[in-house]
Amino acid sequence: MALFGGGGGSGENGSGPAPCGRYRSPLVSRYSSPEMAFNFSDAKKFSTWRRLWFFLAKAERMLGLAITEQQLEEMEMNLENIDYAMAAEEEKKLRHDVMAHVHTFAHCCPQAAAIIHLGATSCYVGDNTDLIVLRDGFDILLPKLARVISRLADFAEHYAHLPTLGFTHYQPAQLTTVGKRSCLWLQDLCMDLRSVRRAREELRFRGVKGTTGTQASFLQLLQGDHSKVEELDRLVTEMAGFKRTYLVTGQTYSRKVDVDCLAVLASLGASVHKICTDIRLLANLKEIEEPFEKDQIGSSAMPYKRNPMRSERCCSLARHLMGLIMDPLQTAAVQWLERTLDDSANRRVCLPEAFLTADIILSTLQNITEGLVVYPKVIERHIRHELPFMATENIIMAMVKAGGNRQDCHEHIRVLSHQAAAVVKQEGGDNDLITRIRAETYFSPIHGQLEALLDPKTFVGRAPEQVAKFLAEEVRPLLVPFANQMDVKMALEL
């Protein structure tokens, strides 16, 4: 007897488990976009198989094989007419998913039944479909990544001149600007955009290669004509929307291709994790917050809380995305000779999950970057708390210019700094170093300069200029190919 709940109720028609009685991946049920969920759906997969069989038959007819126009028309009419129940029954009987769908397709194409899958091996539809899905997955991700970069670029430009504490080792360091810090995030994402575009552009088609990649079956079909075999490969590749094919394969395309695809997504995951960790740290300081809805609840126990839940979600999913790279690495390493089937089950999991995870991470990060809230007064208070210590070198230089002795001035500053530090650390008070300097007659020659010496804008170096140059020369040009896809806003339900 189950301790919790029943043993699985019936569906609406009493034909199986209710939807809530079966595990559903949250990547689809809770997070992913409809377009990415469809990209890895059975409907996309099996209709693509049928299109590939149609392309093959069409190209074979063009090269002289005995395939009629009526057979092609019949196949084309039934590309989406898939009887999934019949396919499942066939697979249960045959223990072979491709042959199950060959039989199912043939059932609704009786005239074309004899020529479906002619000369092909299972990987003709399996691997070529995977490559199409990977390509289309990248095409979904690229504009989303470009939009995140665009939103962050606008943010960086807007806050290019706003001084803020820089941190090294998460300890206060020299000042930077809010815009300059976001350019560190942008630089990583720009690297990711270039890497994802490269991975997408370098994808090729497996094409028609036969059982072990030698094209022997097609050479036999085409009466030993090598040029026709090459033309068959080229025609099908072109019909599938690819410019190039892998010239050599085993039964499968090299699993190093999967490594390359997931590596760029894992690297993107690392970038997003770093960005969202920074936002979470800044939220703790109350300097920057992600969007927070009017009726959103931060904590069931603490009503005042404004938890950075979107950034936390990104970090959580990014860890999963980064970890997925181990699957294709190990798969590529253990492929025996022309192939072994221990790649199949693994790839059914890691390839969709990588793209589904990257998809929701980018959608969430876009939502975050469209609504980042900056609190300049809090940032200014933190600067005032730390800047007096950072300004001591400037004060010493000003005293020397006014005729003072550097060593004497250094000693005076050292004593006052330690006194001010004791107030901050031991008494929990504010940094009163400047008040102490104003009270010392020794520093009277520069009392009138103290305000200018403590102007935060004089401590940010070339940060504003770096932001402007970086955005103009590296970021904006990257976004040109995606200009007509920038208007989409990303509202999240959860």
Contact of 402 with 471, CB cutoff 8 Å: no
Model pLDDT, residue 14: 46
Structure tokens at 246: 């892998």
Number of separate domains in the chain? 3
Model pLDDT, residue 13: 45
Model pLDDT, residue 7: 47
User: Do 181 and 257 have their domain in common?
Assistant: yes
Confidence bin at 19 (pLDDT 50/70/90): low
User: Do 153 and 187 have their domain in common?
Assistant: yes
Model pLDDT, residue 297: 47
Q: Is 169 a catalytic residue?
A: yes
Is residue 52 situated within a structural domain? Answer: yes
Nearest by Cα to 368 from 480, 471, 293, 262? 293
Amino acid at the residue 494: L
Model pLDDT, residue 434: 86
Model pLDDT, residue 423: 87
**CA-CA distance, 214 to 387, in Å (whole number)?**
71
In this structure, how many other beta carbons lie within 10 angstroms of the beta carbon of residue 88? 13
User: Do 274 and 144 have their domain in common?
Assistant: yes
**Dihedral pair phi/psi, residue 177, rounded to 5°:** -125, 160
User: Do 286 and 321 have their domain in common?
Assistant: yes
**CA-CA distance, 33 to 78, in Å (whole number)?**
28
pLDDT at position 12 over 50: no
Percentage of the chain beyond pLDDT 90 is 72
Is residue 408 situated within a structural domain? Answer: yes
In this structure, how many other beta carbons lie within 10 angstroms of the beta carbon of residue 97? 19
DSSP string, 326-373: HHHHHHHHT--TT--GGGHHHHHHHHHHHHHHHHHHHHHHHHHHHS-E
pLDDT at position 412 over 50: yes
User: Do 43 and 143 have their domain in common?
Assistant: no
Indicate the range of 120-134, 196-210, 293-307, 405-419 predicted with least confidence. 293-307
Mean pLDDT (the chain) is 90
Model pLDDT, residue 9: 47
pLDDT digits (tens, 9 = 90+) for 82-99: 999 999 999 999 989 999
Average of pLDDT values for 44-66? 96
User: Do 263 and 349 have their domain in common?
Assistant: yes
Domain boundary among 343, 374, 405: 374
Domain boundary among 374, 397, 427: 374
User: Do 358 and 384 have their domain in common?
Assistant: no
Average of pLDDT values for 307-316? 94
Which residue is catalytic, options 10, 29, 299, 316? 299
**CA-CA distance, 251 to 162, in Å (whole number)?**
58
Model pLDDT, residue 493: 55
Amino acid at the residue 451: E
pLDDT at position 342 over 60: yes
Average of pLDDT values for 157-166? 96
Model pLDDT, residue 492: 65
Is residue 247 situated within a structural domain? Answer: no
Domain boundary among 84, 108, 132: 108
Is residue 129 situated within a structural domain? Answer: yes
Average of pLDDT values for 426-445? 88
Is residue 77 situated within a structural domain? Answer: yes
Average of pLDDT values for 297-302? 48
Q: Is 15 a catalytic residue?
A: no
Domain CATH number, residue 99 = 1.10.275.10
In this structure, how many other beta carbons lie within 10 angstroms of the beta carbon of residue 14? 7
User: Do 370 and 392 have their domain in common?
Assistant: no
pLDDT digits (tens, 9 = 90+) for 187-227: 999 999 999 999 999 999 999 999 999 999 999 999 999 99
Is residue 18 situated within a structural domain? Answer: no
Amino acid at the residue 458: T
Confidence bin at 275 (pLDDT 50/70/90): very high
User: Do 56 and 77 have their domain in common?
Assistant: yes
Model pLDDT, residue 389: 82
Domain CATH number, residue 384 = 1.10.40.30
User: Do 275 and 176 have their domain in common?
Assistant: yes
User: Do 258 and 362 have their domain in common?
Assistant: yes
Domain CATH number, residue 153 = 1.20.200.10
Task: Determine the structural domain holding residue 442 and report its residue range.
Answer: 378-447
pLDDT digits (tens, 9 = 90+) for 361-385: 999 999 999 999 999 999 999 998 8
Nearest by Cα to 358 from 473, 263, 288, 441? 263
User: Do 320 and 403 have their domain in common?
Assistant: no
Q: Which residue has the higher pLDDT, 491 or 377?
A: 377
Is residue 453 situated within a structural domain? Answer: no
Structure tokens at 392: 């001591």
Q: Which residue has the higher pLDDT, 423 or 61?
A: 61
pLDDT at position 494 over 60: no
Model pLDDT, residue 293: 60
> Has this prediction a pTM greater than 0.85?
yes
**CA-CA distance, 290 to 275, in Å (whole number)?**
12
Is residue 207 situated within a structural domain? Answer: no
Which residue is catalytic, options 15, 169, 227, 300? 169
